[in-house]
Amino acid sequence: MTRVAAVQMASGPNVGANLLEAGRLIAMAADAGAQLVVLPENFAIMGMAETDKVAIRETAGAGPIQDFLANQAAKLGIWLVGGTIPLAATAADKVRAACLLYNDQGDVVARYDKMHLFDVRLNEGEETYVESQTIEPGATPVVADTPFGRLGLAVCYDLRFPEQFRAMLEQGMQLFVLPSAFTAITGRAHWEVLIRARAIENLCYVIAAAQGGFHVNGRETHGDSMIVDPWGTVLDRLPRGSGVVAADIDLARVANTRRNFPAISHRRLRVGGPM
């Protein structure tokens, strides 16, 4: 059994203040026995403008946000998923929304760049998002070896694309993390059902860490961070506000569920073509 946790917060434009709050919540999770802690998308900055994250972007391996994550992981002896942070992209006016996985020594052992960008219009134009203006997409699903199993990395809008999770399943995924900042509108409609669907169809654990609340820039995020088991049962959740959700996961539960309910082996199609 392994204790895992997801952090929920409502980040603002001040990086220093966000890191202080993230540190407080990471410590809370570690004190509760969590060996793996997941931060939400954009935990270090939710700027007044989308270009604010470009202004603070870091090169891979160097910068105050990455130093913070490495120090937290090493100091507390935990594995830490650094939500997403803005790393340098090919284009000077864009970033990569990078999800970094740190081991308990503070070393980066995996990096996933968000593949699916949130370019949508809600409420007939009243709420519009165009992530592609400031974010350069990644191209490759990522699954990493950890003491807790084969861990898939995905971010927010990726949740709507089941083929990505099937691709991770082909790489042996047993659980996945989902740092997110779902909008209040889409979250109310789709967040829980999509998380539980991805858990059920892949017979795996999901650790979903969300932004949750009202932000200085006027945005409202849905929250409802949760941990879900391979049968789609919600083990813990936090509807609103800052805090931590935690639960025990067991790889034997994954193996037993997949053996007794072998839907994965019953597939007739794979991603890209027939079985």
Which residues belong to the active site? 41, 114, 156
Question: DSSP secondary-structure letter at 27?
Answer: H
pLDDT tens digits along 145-156? 999 999 999 999
Distances (CA, A) of 215 to 47, 147, 191, 241: 9, 35, 19, 11
Find all residues with CB under 8 Å of 5, minimum gap 6, and list them. Answer: 29, 32, 34, 36, 37, 38, 207, 244, 245, 246
Residue 238: give its domain's CATH number: 3.60.110.10
Average pLDDT (153-176) is 97
Tokens of 257: 């569920």
Contact 8, 210 (CB under 8 A): yes
The pLDDT of residue 202 is above 90: yes
pLDDT tens digits along 43-71? 999 999 999 999 999 999 999 999 999 99
Domain presence at residue 19: yes
pLDDT tens digits along 8-17? 999 999 999 9
Q: Residue 151: name the closest of 197, 209, 112 by CA.
A: 112
Provide, rounded to the nearest whole percent, the portion of the chain with pLDDT above 90. Answer: 95
Distance CA 39, CA 208 (A): 9
Please give the tally of structural domains in the chain.
Answer: 1
What pLDDT is recorded for position 232? 98
- CA 134, 136, 141 angle in degrees (round to 5)? 140
Distance CA 220, CA 11 (A): 11
For residue 216, give its domain range: 2-264
Better pLDDT: 128 or 193? 193
Domain presence at residue 275: no
Domain presence at residue 74: yes
Q: At residue 197, what is the residue type? A: A
What pLDDT is recorded for position 181? 98
Domain presence at residue 269: no
